[in-house]
C-alpha cells in the first residue's frame, strides 16, 4: 500500500535543552532515525516551523498554528499526497519499517491505527491516519480543542495493545527522547550539522 510519512518536529525542545531533531544518537540525528523508519513511504516530509532541509525531504509549516501536536497531525494530513499517513514524532527513533508495516496491516477497517504505549496511554505521534480525518482535525483546531485523545476517539481508531507490540518489537519501541538522559548509555550526544 502506498502511504505518506510525516515527521513532526514542532516542539521547542525545552526539556531537551537543544534541538532534539538534530541530536546525534547512535551515529545519526534523531530525525534521520525516524525518517529511516519511514523509508518505505511513497513520500516523506517534515512538519516544522524551522528549516530542516539538510534531511533531504520537504519541510512544511503548520497550516493552522498554535494547536500543538494536533496542528502537526492536521498539517501532515493536509500536505500528504496519499490516503494513509504515518505520523511520527522526531523524538521516537525506534519506529522501524517493520512497525509501520504492522500498523498498515491493520488499516483496513478504521480511519486510524494507534498504539498503546507501556504506560497504557495512546501513542498518537506514532500512528497511522487516513487523510479523510483532515476536516475532523481542522474542526477541533478551530474549536481550540487540542486534546489528542479526543481526536483519536472521534476518529474511531483501532487501538493496538501494548502487549502485542512489546512481544513483536521489544520494550524500547516507544523510547521517547524528551531529555538527553532518556538516551543514556547511547553513543553520541552532539548536535548534528
Return the beta strands (E) in the chain as ranges. Answer: 4-8, 24-25, 28-29, 43-47, 59-60, 84-89, 112-116, 122-130, 158-160
Place of cell 483532515: 134
In whole angstroms, give the CA distance from residue 155 to residue 152.
5
Task: Give residue-wise pLDDT tens across range 11-26.
Answer: 544 454 557 888 888 8
Indicate the CATH number of 4-183 among 3.90.550.10, 3.40.220.10, 3.40.640.10, 3.40.50.10420. 3.90.550.10
Non-local CB neighbours of 165 within 8 Å, separated by 6+ positions: 115, 116, 173
Q: Could you give the count of Cα atoms lying within 13 Å of 109 in the half-sphere of its Cβ?
A: 4
Looking at residue 181, its pLDDT comes to 56
Across 73-92, average pLDDT:
97
Place of cell 527513533: 93
Domain coordinates in residue numbering, the chain: 4-183
Res 150 pLDDT > 70: yes
In whole angstroms, give the CA distance from residue 71 to residue 64.
6
Of 111, 116, 137, the C-alpha closest to 126 is: 116
Amino acid at each position: 500500500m502506498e502511504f505518506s510519512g510525516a515527521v513532526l518536529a514542532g516542539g521547542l525542545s525545552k526539556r531537551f535543552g537543544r534541538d532534539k531533531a538534530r541530536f546525534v544518537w547512535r551515529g545519526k540525528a534523531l530525525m534521520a532515525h525516524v525518517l529511516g523508519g519511514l523509508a518505505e513511504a511513497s513520500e516523506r516530509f517534515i512538519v516544522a516551523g524551522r528549516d530542516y532541509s539538510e534531511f533531504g525531504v520537504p519541510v512544511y509549516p503548520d497550516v493552522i498554528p498554535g494547536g500543538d501536536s494536533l496542528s502537526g497531525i492536521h498539517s501532515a494530513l493536509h500536505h500528504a499526497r496519499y490516503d494513509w499517513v504515518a505520523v511520527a514524532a522526531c523524538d521516537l527513533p525506534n519506529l522501524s519499517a517493520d512497525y509501520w508495516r504492522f500498523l498498515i496491516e491493520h488499516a483496513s477497517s478504521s480511519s486510524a491505527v494507534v498504539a498503546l504505549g507501556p504506560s497504557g496511554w495512546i501513542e498518537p505521534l506514532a500512528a497511522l491516519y487516513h487523510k479523510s480525518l483532515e476536516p475532523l482535525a481542522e474542526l477541533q483546531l478551530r474549536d481550540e480543542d487540542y486534546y489528542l485523545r479526543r481526536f483519536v476517539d472521534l476518529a474511531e481508531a483501532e487501538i493496538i495493545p501494548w502487549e502485542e507490540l512489546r512481544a513483536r518489537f521489544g520494550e524500547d519501541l516507544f523510547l521517547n527522547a524528551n531529555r538527553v538522559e532518556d538516551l543514556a548509555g547511547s553513543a553520541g550526544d552532539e548536535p548534528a550539522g
